[in-house]
């Protein structure tokens, strides 16, 4: 018997899952709640709505039509939040440009995305000026002066952001359209080849928003997010929609604080003065803040920080917990919108034991509602969830990119077998927690045995004198590959003349405890001044391989 669909009354409203539906919620519940940009300006959600309408009207007057692509280059700001809503709600596509791309990558992504209009913060004008003659699709450029005088440039601006909004009509009719319409796009910052374009529909973003709310509130755990919170992103808004949190924060109607350019003292002052209660960032940002002296004088007991982008090192977690920060890990990737897991601590696993508490918070986490996640062997068979059997993590969920823009071959590789392949190696334990042990391309095979570079890095970072660490595999005639470690020492460790031999002794303690195998101890540990990072703050292992192999 065939599936029987529901019957539809002729006059019934077919409610599309489009971004305007989450935009309207705070205007009913919390119209006077505040959205703030640094210490420069703040306004209510009602005023936010007015500006979103005016921005859409101004862009329409500039010639932007449904299906056009509008790109943004800005720091984390109230303006960016306005673009998150106005551009896709008018049926156009928001392209969030990675402001840390090389000139060639910048040219490639703008041309490949076929951007029609670019909104450019004054700080990034030199980047665009250097490449503007090689941009093939851009019709108009709009300056974001950021309350300052326009910069000297040869670019002929078509408008300035605040003037454009000031002069626009105050109402735009945001009509309904297909929920599968493309809403956003951006480019991955992978460490191989050209950047790859990923894209997401209105439906996907709405479902991801609802999934985030559920994830942070469905379990009686250390994770929570509700209307009483004060939210400040510390993940760039160009990077996977700041992990989707601005959409969720707006829907809930929380007090939002946007820090602009990431400056440690400015961030800490905003946390203190505005009472920020929840943020998210990569480990390097939290590491930067924890090493800012003024943080020692702050009460951070109400600050919740979700770490993603890279594994949360246990040493960093311990340091944050000592300052009262409620820190824990989540996991996702550019292709997944991004959130797939969150290290919610189940009620029966809550403990006062510091070591167990840290281990739970640093786990990759439990799959979020609506995420179907598997760990499989090379033959696509599920490995047992025993806390030790590893395989590739593959996933299905409503908010995965359906491919790479104009790249059918890479898209098929991504979706081989009807499951998205994350390229991550990990295992599931008996409680359902995922633990990523390495990237498929980063795992080290020595003498026929696998070594996790992430586990070695975690052990290295447990040394009091190690500030940063990275491990890669290097060719070896006898063993095939051997781990090679790079560490950045703390200032105190440099003064004490800590050596690579001291760090090897430290690693042997992990061998004795059975945490890492003896063959996993690197033959060579290089003490370096810095470790190469990607544009979003992750360790750039491709660059390290080019440098040391």
Provide the annotated active-site residues. Answer: 188, 335, 445, 450
- Could you give the dihedral angle defined by the CA atoms of residues 286, 288, 293 and 299, in that order, rounded to the nearest 10 degrees? -10
The two structure tokens encoding residue 289: 């803040």
DSSP H or E stretch at residue 326:
strand 326-332
Query: Using CB atoms within 10 A of its CB, is residue 428 exposed (0-12), middle (13-18) or buried (19+)?
Result: buried
Phi, psi of 307 (to 5 degrees): -105, 130
CA distances from 509 to 42, 438, 477, 512 (A): 52, 22, 28, 5
**Tokens 């059918």 -> residue:** 408
SS3 content of the chain, % helix, strand, coil (to 5): 35, 25, 40
State the Cα–Cα distance between residues 144 and 118, nearest whole angstrom: 10
311-350 exposure pattern, b = at least 16 Cβ within 10 A, e = fewer: bbbbbbbbbbbebebbbbbbbbbbbbbbbbbbbbbeeeee
CA distances from 37 to 83, 256, 382 (A): 14, 9, 47
CA distances from 437 to 312, 423, 450, 540 (A): 12, 11, 11, 17
Q: How many CA atoms lie within 13 A of 365 on its CB side?
A: 26
**Tokens 């594994």 -> residue:** 311
Q: How many CA atoms lie within 13 A of 114 on its CB side?
A: 6
Bridge partner residues of 200 (DSSP): 184
Phi, psi of 333 (to 5 degrees): -155, 170
317 prior amide bond cis, ω within 30: no
């Amino acid at each position: 018997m065939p599936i029987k669909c529901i019957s539809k009354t002729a006059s019934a409203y077919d409610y599309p899952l489009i971004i305007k539906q989450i935009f309207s919620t705070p205007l009913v519940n919390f119209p006077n709640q505040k959205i703030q940009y640094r210490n420069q300006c703040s306004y209510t959600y009602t005023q936010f709505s007015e500006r979103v309408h005016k921005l859409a009207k101004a862009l329409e007057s500039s010639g932007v039509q449904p299906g056009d692509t509008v790109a943004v280059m800005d720091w984390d700001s109230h303006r960016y939040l306005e673009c998150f809503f106005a551009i896709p709600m008018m049926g156009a596509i928001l392209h969030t440009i990675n402001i840390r791309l090389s000139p060639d990558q910048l040219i490639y992504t703008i041309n490949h995305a076929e951007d029609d209009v670019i909104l450019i913060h004054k700080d990034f004008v030199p980047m665009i000026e250097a490449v503007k003659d090689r941009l093939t699709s851009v019709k108009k450029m709009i300056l974001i002066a950021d309350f300052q005088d326009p910069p000297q440039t040869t670019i002929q601006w078509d408008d300035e952001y605040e003037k454009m909004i000031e002069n626009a009509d105050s109402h735009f009719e945001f009509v309904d359209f297909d929920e599968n319409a493309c809403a956003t796009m951006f480019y991955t910052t992978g460490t191989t080849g050209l950047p790859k374009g990923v894209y997401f529909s209105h439906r996907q973003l709405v479902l991801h928003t609802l999934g985030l709310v559920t994830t942070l509130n469905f379990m009686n755990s250390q994770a929570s997010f509700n209307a009483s919170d004060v939210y400040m992103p510390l993940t760039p808004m160009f990077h996977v929609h700041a992990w989707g949190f601005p959409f969720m924060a707006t829907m809930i109607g929380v007090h939002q604080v946007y820090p602009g350019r990431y400056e440690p003292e400015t961030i800490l002052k905003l946390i203190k003065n505005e009472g920020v209660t929840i943020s998210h960032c990569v480990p390097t940002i939290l590491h930067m803040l924890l090493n800012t002296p003024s943080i020692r004088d702050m009460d951070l007991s109400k600050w919740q920080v979700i770490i993603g982008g890279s594994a949360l090192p246990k040493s960093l977690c311990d340091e944050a917990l000592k300052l009262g920060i409620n820190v824990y890990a989540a996991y996702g990737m550019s292709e997944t919108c991004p959130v797939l897991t969150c290290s919610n601590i189940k009620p029966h696993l809550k403990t006062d034991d510091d070591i167990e508490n840290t281990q739970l918070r640093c786990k990759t986490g439990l799959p979020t509602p609506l995420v179907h996640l598997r760990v499989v062997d090379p033959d696509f068979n599920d490995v047992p969830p025993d806390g030790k059997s590893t395989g590739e993590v593959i996933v299905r969920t409503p908010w995965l990119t359906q491919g790479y823009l104009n790249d059918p071959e890479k898209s098929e590789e991504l979706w081989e077998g009807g499951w998205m392949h994350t390229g991550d190696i990990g295992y599931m334990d008996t409680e359902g927690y995922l633990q990523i042990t390495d990237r498929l391309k980063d795992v080290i095979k020595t003498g026929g045995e696998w070594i996790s570079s992430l586990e070695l890095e975690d052990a290295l970072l447990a040394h009091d004198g190690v500030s940063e660490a990275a491990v890669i595999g290097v060719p070896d005639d006898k063993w095939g590959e051997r781990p090679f470690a790079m560490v950045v020492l703390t200032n105190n460790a440099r003064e004490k003349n800590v050596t690579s031999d001291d760090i090897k002794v430290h690693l042997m303690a992990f061998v004795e405890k059975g945490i890492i195998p003896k063959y996993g101890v690197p033959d060579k540990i290089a003490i370096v001044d810095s470790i190469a990072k990607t544009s979003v703050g992750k360790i750039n292992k491709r660059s390290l391989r080019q440098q040391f192999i």
